[in-house]
A and B are shown apart, each in its own frame.
Chain A
Amino acid sequence: DAKTTQPPSMDCAEGRAANLPCNHSTISGNEYVYWYRQIHSQGPQYIIHGLKNNETNEMASLIITEDRKSSTLILPHATLRDTAVYYCIVRVEENAGKSTFGDGTTLTVKP
């Protein structure tokens, strides 16, 4: 599985968009980009995933660059409840779950 690099921490104002970057320059053609988050000490929660195209669901949008070497998770209107650690994980579908979550980005949403 490709290695990912994320900033250790970010702040965002409540109501503004939160843009969380992830670098995965060694990604291979059949590897997906997954995003999870962990609120306080709870179990991680799936957010979104994508292969090549940009994806959107009720929680967030995922923008993957054309060369697929980086991606951005967008929370369009961040709330205080979005304060969490966000993990970007790259892996092939067959390896779903069989990988380590890195240290992630701690997003703090401020009033």
Chain B
Amino acid sequence: NAGVTQTPKFRVLKTGQSMTLLCAQDMNHEYMYWYRQDPGMGLRLIHYSVGEGTTAKGEVPDGYNVSRLKKQNFLLGLESAAPSQTSVYFCASSYRVGQGDHEQYFGPGTRLTVT
């Protein structure tokens, strides 16, 4: 199992550009999440999904959109990047409540710089 993978690993954008971050998991997890981590801080939840075709807002959703068209993939989009979105982005997945363990499995992260 590859676990949770994220593409790309690094990206530099200019202000106003758009991009999509891809998260993929091969553990048949129902739940998937996107977090951001700014330097020296903990992770903050951006959006999450409790199943294919569903998405919901987390703590800091503004400026981001997500889609979960396939169970194994969760996409995070930035329509018009801003310097404040410079951060490390982590994706995670987990089982549905009652289906398996409580653990969240994290990807290696995507380092995004917006200039």
Contact = CB atoms under 8 A, between A and B. Distances in A.
Nearest to A104: B42
Given A44-B43, A103-B41, A97 B109 contact: no
A97 B48 contact: yes
Interface in A61-103: 87, 93-94, 96-103
B82 interface: no
A101 to B, nearest CB: 4
A100 B92 contact: no
B43 A100 contact: yes
Q: How large is the interface on B (under 10, 10 to 19, 20 to 34, 35 or more residues)?
A: 20 to 34
Interface string B25-69: 000000101010000111111001000000010110000000000
A44 B102 contact: no
B4 A96 contact: no
Q: Looking at chain B's contact residues, is the secondary structure mostly helix, strand, loop, or mixed?
A: strand
A28 interface: no
Interface string A34-75: 101000011111100100000000000000000000000000
A107 to B, nearest CB: 15
A94 B97 contact: yes
Given A93-B102, A97-B94, A103 B107 contact: no
